[in-house]
């Protein structure tokens, strides 16, 4: 079988989506809107993340295809609305990548990754005109990821702690302030200080090279697996978790912690 080019394959996908949305296409595809596609698009993104976490290349290949389908689908809707086409999408991203990498496609030179990121922010600042550095970060991002991205962006222009030890002091300061608010039963301030504490912990994670969103997800995985171990062992004893004492569950929990995790 003759090997087909990326362009040929992409054109076929574009044609398939156009046909699905056409007069004699699929009823389900024809009735989709940008709004109805949002949760499906988000689901595909998280499925891709899951494949990456599992290091499952086959699953990732499939999920990337599903994500590409959504891009082509939205471009087809744009064509129908006469707002933009897939050619416009590709033209824009190609131009953006060339503009933001003058050290590759232009005459600029950089010495390291830090300088690349600094130049990136300078170029984006010119594009934003009066818009601030953080304005393009959507509020709908998971809070830990949003905090991490905010901190990483401003760090590129030098607004950052010197090292992890300085951030550690900030974490301790925020913890003290939270405890004071807790002691005074000031719920509004408790919420503010808890947010500040989490924000500082995200900063510490960033300085230590830890992805806070991934770390918390893995903590959730460990918790879920260990609690499932507790439930399974209680069932083997003829008990339900609602019938077991805290002491029994704690003992099984400690045993679960000594068991190798199926997925870390």
CB 234 within 8 A of CB 244: yes
Give Cα separations from 10 to 6, 15, 71, 82, 154 (angstroms).
6, 9, 12, 21, 37
Q: Which CATH class is domain 143-210?
A: mainly alpha
Each residue's pLDDT, cut to its tens digit, for the chain (264 residues) gives 678 999 999 999 999 999 999 999 999 999 999 999 998 998 999 899 899 988 999 999 999 999 999 999 999 999 999 999 999 999 999 998 998 888 888 877 877 877 777 777 777 767 666 677 888 888 888 899 999 999 998 998 889 999 999 999 999 999 999 999 999 999 999 999 999 999 999 999 999 999 998 899 899 999 999 999 999 999 999 999 999 999 999 999 999 998 876 654
The closest alpha carbon to 145, from 51, 93, 217, 55, belongs to: 217
Question: Rounded CA gap, 159 and 154, in Å?
Answer: 5
Both tokens of 130, joined, read: 């009066």
Taking CA atoms, 93 is separated from 86, 170, 242, in Å, by 11, 39, 55
Domains of the chain, residue spans: 6-98, 101-128, 143-210, 213-258
CA 13, CA 20: separation in Å to the nearest integer?
Answer: 11
pTM of the model: 0.65
Q: Which CATH architecture has domain 6-98?
A: Orthogonal Bundle (1.10)
Terminal-residue alpha carbon distance, the chain: 42
Sign of the four-CA dihedral 99, 148, 136, 75: positive
| DSSP annotation of 25 | S
Name the residue with tokens 């550690």: 168
């Amino acid at each position: 079988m003759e090997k087909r080019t990326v362009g040929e394959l992409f054109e076929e996908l574009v044609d398939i989506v156009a046909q699905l949305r056409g007069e004699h296409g699929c009823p389900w595809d024809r009735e989709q809107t940008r709004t109805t596609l949002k949760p499906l698009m988000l689901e595909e993104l998280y499925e891709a993340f899951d494949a990456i976490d599992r290091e499952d290349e086959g699953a990732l290949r499939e999920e990337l295809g599903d994500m590409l389908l959504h891009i082509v689908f939205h471009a087809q809707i744009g064509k129908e609305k006469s707002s933009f086409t897939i050619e416009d999408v590709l033209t824009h991203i190609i131009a953006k990548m060339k503009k933001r990498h003058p050290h590759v496609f232009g005459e600029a030179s950089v010495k390291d990754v830090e300088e690349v990121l600094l130049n990136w922010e300078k170029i984006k600042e010119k594009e934003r005109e009066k818009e601030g550095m953080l304005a393009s970060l959507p509020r709908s991002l998971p809070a830990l990821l949003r905090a991490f991205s905010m901190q990483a962006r401003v760090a590129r222009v030098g607004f950052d702690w010197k090292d992890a030890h300085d951030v550690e002091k900030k974490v301790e300061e925020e913890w003290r302030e939270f405890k004071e608010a807790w002691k005074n039963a000031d719920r509004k301030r408790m919420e503010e200080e808890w947010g500040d504490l989490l924000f500082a912990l995200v900063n510490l994670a960033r300085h230590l090279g830890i992805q806070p969103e991934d770390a918390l997800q893995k903590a959730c995985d460990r918790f879920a697996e260990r609690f499932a171990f507790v439930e399974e062992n209680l069932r083997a004893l003829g008990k339900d978790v609602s019938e077991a004492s805290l002491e029994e569950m704690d003992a099984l929990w400690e045993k679960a912690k000594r068991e190798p995790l199926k997925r870390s």
